[in-house]
Amino acid sequence: MLINAANTLPEVFQLVFDEILLASKQPSHPFRFMSLATVRQQSPDVRYVVLRSVGDRHQLVFFSDYRTEKIAHISENPNVSVLLYHSQKMVQVRIKATAAIHRNSELALYYWNSVAQEARKAYNSSISPGTPLSQPEEAHNWPEVMGSDDFVVVEIVPSQLDVLQLNGLSHLRARFLREEDNWDMQWVAP
């Protein structure tokens, strides 16, 4: 269990973000792979991304290739949703958010410098992600020099959190709504 009925709502909020912060530092943490849902032309699409860091306004940061569909989706509609589940602590966190794309900016270059040389290949494929291939190996081709042009940092800024703690038949559920710099907090029926 991550939370219990004796916790205050500010404690619940803190416990959830402490766990998310931990996940950004521990590769094996269950929150490390986030399900990220985007919208394109009113149709939802979902995939996993890696949580890389958590900002001081509770932003969740992941990296991507500018040429991927998810970046086109976010450019068209910045409303996203993130889903996390911790199977040992039996807690689900649903996040509604807006996403901001950073490319060739100070922030993007700051994170680019933290990406290991070999890992830079993930943002440097010679053939754009999603391009049809005759043979799968065609995609395993990279330039000599790994540039940061297609490397993007995406900041997911949460506006709403729905936390569900499973516990036998006594589940707990809390909802958090961002209002400017404050969070409106409310227990709700599971």
Ligand X SMILES: Cc1cc2nc3c(=O)[nH]c(=O)nc-3n(C[C@H](O)[C@H](O)[C@H](O)COP(=O)(O)O)c2cc1C
Question: Which residues in this chain contact ligand X in the complex, by CB under 6 A?
Answer: 33, 45, 47-50, 62-65, 68-70, 129-130
CB of 37 to ligand X, least distance (A): 10
117 Rama class: left (phi>0) / alpha (psi -120 to 50) / beta: alpha
Nearer CB in complex with ligand X: 13/62: 62
Nearer CB in complex with ligand X: 12/71: 71
Nearer CB in complex with ligand X: 78/129: 129
CB of 116 to ligand X, least distance (A): 14
Compute how many other C-beta atoms are within 10 angstroms of the C-beta atom of residue 83: 15
CB of 120 to ligand X, least distance (A): 13
Q: Between the CA atoms of 142, 153, 101 and 54, what dihedral angle is there, to the nearest 10 degrees?
A: 160
Contact 139, 127 (CB under 8 A): yes
Nearer CB in complex with ligand X: 122/157: 122
The H-or-E segment that residue 18 falls in is helix 9-25
Contact 3, 163 (CB under 8 A): yes
CB of 63 to ligand X, least distance (A): 6
